Amino acid sequence: MTVTKEKLVLVGNGMAGVNAVEHLLKLAPDKYEVTIFGSEPHPNYNRILLSYVLSGESQMADIVIHPYEWYANNHITLYTNQTVTSIDTAGQTVTSDKGLTVSYDKLILATGSNPFMIPLPGVDKEGVMAYRTIRDCENMMAAAKKYKKAIVIGGGLLGLEAARGFLNLGMQVDVVHIVDTIMDRQLDRTASKMLQAALEEQGINFLLEKQSAEILGGKRVTGLKFKDGTVAEADLIVMAVGIRPNVAIAKEAGIACDPGIIVNDYLQTSVSNVYAVGECAMHRGVAYGLVAPLYEQGAVLAKHLAGVDTGPYEGSILYTKLKVSGVDVFSGGKFVDAEGTKAIRIHDEFTGVYKKVVIQDNKIIGAVLFGDTADGTRLMQMIREETDISGMGKTAILTDTSGGGGAASTVADMKDDAIICGCNGVTKGTICSAIKDQGLTTVDEVKNCTTASRSCGGCKPLVSDLLAFTLGASYDKHAAKESICGCTSHTRDEIVAAIREKGLSHVREVMNVLAWKNEEGCSKCRPALNYYLGMISPETYKDDSTSRFVNERMHANIQKDGTYSVVPRIYGGVTNPTELKRIAEVAEQFNVPTVKFTGGQRLDLLGVKKEDLTAMWEALDMPSGYAYGKALRTVKTCVGDTFCRFGTGDAMGVGIELEKRFERLNTPAKVKLAVSGCPRNCAESGIKDLGIVSVDGGWELYAGGNGGVKVRVGDLMSTVKTEQEIIEYTEAYLQYYRETGKYGERTSEWVHRLGIDHIRDVVENAEERKRLCARMDLALSVMQDPWKQAIESKKIQRDLYEVVEL
């Protein structure tokens, strides 16, 4: 007996609609005869990945989600390049612009959104476009071949991704934004300003608090005029100022819209047998513009249409991640401070990391992360599950302190149908089955097999946790190939090997020879390459200051009000009246508003003007304390046996000797040492990159400690007898870290990655230690004090410290 299938028509061949149909076919393969209409002349593709196509990181061919064969294999009738122009809800038919009428039993509207075009005079000129489709992307790429200057109106997610794409295409780009903080819908002011600085460093120019008034030009655009009368030149203008639900046909058919197509918790519209899903739908007053919620809607709709039991769709908590290589930004939930909320904030200006977690009634309700977004997925999980955080310390909230098993236990608690990859709608169950059935062992393999982590990449940590959860001890998280940034597919080890083997000698040469996708590089890879080149050839490499972060270029820390902080070196935290008097006099002479003791036992002169820096350094006549750099920072000491009655070792003497030896040493990340005169550990040696503790008959050396964001107690590496051995072991340890650490990786992460047993084997091997010490001595022999160089060079003073009058 033949069963008559119901007729299901989907209007909109985009991400939300096709995903819902795919689910439905899995649940009820024989229930419906499916017809799909799509205005675009393509099968269903991943709109998210257009940003990577534009930036040159993906090809058009890579972004198709469902190729034509998928439709054929699932017996779906597909009409591409055909727009449905009317719906007859009484007769249950739809009619297309080509005159085709198809009847339905069930109709899904998934017509997405239209980009909003500000109705400015001149908006119809050639060269003014939106950024939404493959066609827009092709137009933008074609224009970049011919023209040089682009303006993007709108500093939201889309506008910034478009701007980065234009830079990669070799264009100059201005981003025009209406308020003074970019990504204002996703970030707070601090994160927004940090993002702006990072993107400016990449080459994007921002025109903030600008209201566009008129598009200038003849047939083609030549510029943009603002309401304040100023003008910016442009050969191309892209509008990225938000989207509006595409509801024209629904409205005309009498389906309730406000402004999206109003749906209930089962995605039913006001007219029976008509459903809406995706950006065009308005659920409980919200129209979503990101795929994760659209896939969540689709999952409920598919079950409902399949006749499978399903709970209602109750709305989604949003999270976003900007897809621009070299910057890590995450925003989730309600991140704006409001009455009744409190926030935990961590802002490390040295590493450029900012974290804000908003709490209400002992529950996390939102988070903004910049510079280190690894906690994003875990925080989202806590937001979704409304985890009670009473009793949890600040550190535990911002750090996965549950040790190795913590992450795995988080994913263990998730249900099989929990969506792990929001961008591609991949569930935990799908990933775990693929890992087991296909023998997958790396995040990349999971990506190729299931598409999870193929788009924004935000779910990579969760996929990695699922691998650990499924494979247990056999999963080697670090075996997965991890490129240093989106500009290249090469890993740190491949790059270092290539520099050594091919004798590469400057940043641009590395990028050329290794075929960087983005020929300018970014703020992640350029400083890393500069470090690796200097580490490999200390004697011959000429430091590329343009590849350094601003603080390292200026040799002082820029503060939030634009002034600088000056921290001179005070060896081992030990000073004398002459030095103190001089510091006091300098502070008075330059009207330093604040003088503060740092946690590393030295003095910080805060609020110094840029133009005063070199004169102040000259007056101080002290070396730079490198409080701004990826270098040796401080060696903290206690008074040791010189004064303390418990002391068994000369903590001050050893500390001063270590600091004098390793000052100015460039390292993958900042390094802090401490020396304590007995196990009472008053210098906090347990939480330093290398902590030295005097014990009966010798000294213990603790490696990989950290007292910062991710607190870690150091591992006992070695016990030595003499002070000479302390110097040797420290040299070998630091040189091994310099040679094997990833740029930006603290020793706490490095020791965890390599394992203390391995590091101990290297450092305690006399031959190996000798070789490492010899290489360290070479590196130390060429170090010079940057403050002295600036005092002596008029050119440095002119280029970096003079204030140019405009």
Ligand X SMILES: Cc1cc2nc3c(=O)[nH]c(=O)nc-3n(C[C@H](O)[C@H](O)[C@H](O)COP(=O)(O)OP(=O)(O)OC[C@H]3O[C@@H](n4cnc5c(N)ncnc54)[C@H](O)[C@@H]3O)c2cc1C
Ligand Y SMILES: NC(=O)c1ccc[n+]([C@@H]2O[C@H](COP(=O)([O-])OP(=O)(O)OC[C@H]3O[C@@H](n4cnc5c(N)ncnc54)[C@H](O)[C@@H]3O)[C@@H](O)[C@H]2O)c1
Annotated binding site for [4Fe-4S] cluster: which residue ranges? Answer: 638, 644, 678, 682
Which residues are known binding-site members for siroheme?
A: 682
Contact with ligand X (CB under 6 A): which of 22, 279, 328, 612? 279
Q: How far is the CB of 118 from ligand Y (least distance, A)?
A: 5
In angstroms, the CA 107 to CA 738 distance is 62
- Give first-to-last CA distance, the chain, whole Å: 86
Q: Which of the 8 DSSP states describes residue 591?
A: T
Instruction: Identify which of residues 118 and 418 has a Cβ nearer to ligand FES in the complex.
Output: 418
In angstroms, the CA 83 to CA 693 distance is 75
Q: How far is the CB of 642 from ligand SF4 (least distance, A)?
A: 9
Instruction: Identify which of residues 21 and 232 has a Cβ nearer to ligand X in the complex.
Output: 21
Q: How far is the CB of 681 from ligand SF4 (least distance, A)?
A: 6
Q: How far is the CB of 484 from ligand Y (least distance, A)?
A: 21
Q: Does the protein bind ligand SF4 through residue 572 (CB under 6 A)? A: no
Tracing tokens 């001595």 back to the chain, one arrives at 777
Name the residue among 439, 414, 444, 443 with its Cα closest to residue 429: 414
Instruction: Identify which of residues 190 and 681 has a Cβ nearer to ligand SF4 in the complex.
Output: 681
Q: Sort 211 into a burial class: Cβ within 10 Å, 0-12 / 13-18 / 19+.
A: exposed
240: partner contacted, choices ligand Y, ligand X, ligand SF4, none (Cβ within 5-8 A by kind): ligand Y
Q: Does the protein bind ligand SF4 through residue 716 (CB under 6 A)? A: no
Element (H, E) at 54: helix 50-54
Instruction: Identify which of residues 294 and 790 has a Cβ nearer to ligand X in the complex.
Output: 294
Q: Residues for the chain: how many in total?
A: 806
In angstroms, the CA 261 to CA 275 distance is 9
Please check whether residue 157 is in contact with residue 336, taking contact to mean a CB–CB distance below 8 angstroms: no
Q: How far is the CB of 635 from ligand SF4 (least distance, A)?
A: 14
Please check whether residue 683 is in contact with residue 697, taking contact to mean a CB–CB distance below 8 angstroms: no
- Residue 296 to residues 30, 290, 328, 388, 461, Cα–Cα distance (Å): 23, 11, 25, 25, 21
Instruction: Identify which of residues 128 and 423 has a Cβ nearer to ligand X in the complex.
Output: 423
Q: Does the protein bind ligand SF4 through residue 148 (CB under 6 A)? A: no
Please calculate the CA angle 665-670-674 and round it to the nearest 5 degrees: 85
In angstroms, the CA 593 to CA 609 distance is 11
Q: Which residues contact 644 (CB under 8 A, 6 or more apart)?
A: 638, 677, 678
Please check whether residue 282 is in contact with residue 265, taking contact to mean a CB–CB distance below 8 angstroms: no
Tell me the sheet residues that pair with 525. none
Please check whether residue 381 is in contact with residue 420, taking contact to mean a CB–CB distance below 8 angstroms: no
Instruction: Identify which of residues 158 and 353 has a Cβ nearer to ligand X in the complex.
Output: 158
Contact with ligand Y (CB under 6 A): which of 87, 109, 110, 153? 153
Contact with ligand Y (CB under 6 A): which of 127, 156, 217, 573? 156
3-state SS record for 443-510: HHHHHHHHCCCCCCCCCHHHHHHHHHHHHHHHCCHHHCCCECCCCCCCEHHHHHHHHHHHCCCCHHHH
Sign (positive or negative) of CA dihedral 372, 378, 383, 388: negative
Name the residue among 246, 174, 230, 237 with its Cα closest to residue 205: 174
184: partner contacted, choices ligand X, ligand FES, ligand Y, none (Cβ within 5-8 A by kind): ligand Y
Q: 190 is written with which tokens?
A: 């601090």
In angstroms, the CA 560 to CA 755 distance is 38
Instruction: Identify which of residues 19 and 35 has a Cβ nearer to ligand FES in the complex.
Output: 19
Please check whether residue 171 is in contact with residue 148, taking contact to mean a CB–CB distance below 8 angstroms: yes
Interface residues with ligand FES (CB under 6 A)? 421-424, 452-459
Contact with ligand X (CB under 6 A): which of 23, 87, 112, 236? 112
Q: Does the protein bind ligand Y through residue 185 (CB under 6 A)? A: yes
Instruction: Identify which of residues 153 and 773 has a Cβ nearer to ligand X in the complex.
Output: 153
Q: How far is the CB of 456 from ligand FES (least distance, A)?
A: 3
453: partner contacted, choices ligand FES, ligand SF4, ligand X, none (Cβ within 5-8 A by kind): ligand FES
Q: Does the protein bind ligand X through residue 160 (CB under 6 A)? A: no
Binding mask 301-330 for ligand X (x = CB under 6 A): ----------------------x-------
In angstroms, the CA 60 to CA 767 distance is 54
421: partner contacted, choices ligand X, ligand Y, ligand FES, none (Cβ within 5-8 A by kind): ligand FES
Q: Does the protein bind ligand Y through residue 184 (CB under 6 A)? A: yes
Contact with ligand Y (CB under 6 A): which of 44, 111, 133, 212? 212
Which residues are known binding-site members?
A: 638, 644, 678, 682
In angstroms, the CA 54 to CA 169 distance is 8
Contact with ligand Y (CB under 6 A): which of 164, 303, 304, 323? 323
Instruction: Identify which of residues 157 and 605 has a Cβ nearer to ligand Y in the complex.
Output: 157
Phi/psi of residue 446, nearest 5 degrees: -65, -40
Q: Does the protein bind ligand X through residue 601 (CB under 6 A)? A: no
Instruction: Identify which of residues 112 and 640 has a Cβ nearer to ligand SF4 in the complex.
Output: 640
Q: Does the protein bind ligand SF4 through residue 651 (CB under 6 A)? A: yes
Q: Does the protein bind ligand X through residue 414 (CB under 6 A)? A: no
176: partner contacted, choices ligand FES, ligand SF4, ligand Y, none (Cβ within 5-8 A by kind): ligand Y
118: partner contacted, choices ligand Y, ligand FES, ligand SF4, none (Cβ within 5-8 A by kind): ligand Y
212: partner contacted, choices ligand SF4, ligand X, ligand Y, none (Cβ within 5-8 A by kind): ligand Y
- DSSP assignment of 336-391 equals S--TTEEEEEEEETTTTEEEEEEEETTEEEEEEEES--TTHHHHHHHHHHT-B-TT
In angstroms, the CA 773 to CA 567 distance is 29
Contact with ligand SF4 (CB under 6 A): which of 86, 681, 719, 797? 681
153: partner contacted, choices ligand X, ligand SF4, ligand Y, none (Cβ within 5-8 A by kind): ligand Y
Sign (positive or negative) of CA dihedral 533, 535, 537, 542: positive
Q: How far is the CB of 71 from ligand FES (least distance, A)?
A: 24
Q: How far is the CB of 265 from ligand X (least distance, A)?
A: 18
Residues 449-488 within binding reach of ligand X (CB under 6 A): 455-456
Binding mask 418-437 for ligand X (x = CB under 6 A): -----x--------------
3-state SS record for 615-666: HHHHHHCCCECCCCCCEEEEEEECCHHHCCCCCCCCHHHHHHHHHHHHCCCE
In angstroms, the CA 400 to CA 320 distance is 21
Name the residue among 669, 662, 673, 724 with its Cα closest to residue 698: 724
Strands (E), 406-469: 419-421, 426-427
Tell me the sheet residues that pair with 283. 263, 286
Q: Which of the 8 DSSP states describes residue 801?
A: I
Q: Does the protein bind ligand SF4 through residue 639 (CB under 6 A)? A: yes
640: partner contacted, choices ligand X, ligand SF4, ligand Y, none (Cβ within 5-8 A by kind): ligand SF4
Instruction: Identify which of residues 129 and 638 has a Cβ nearer to ligand SF4 in the complex.
Output: 638
- For binding to ligand Y (CB under 6 A), which residues are involved? 118, 153-159, 161, 176-179, 184-185, 212, 240-243, 289-290, 320-323, 456
- For binding to ligand SF4 (CB under 6 A), which residues are involved? 638-640, 644, 646-647, 651, 676-678, 680-682
- For binding to ligand X (CB under 6 A), which residues are involved? 11-17, 37-40, 47-48, 50-51, 83-84, 110-112, 131-132, 158, 246, 249, 278-279, 289-292, 294, 323, 423, 455-456
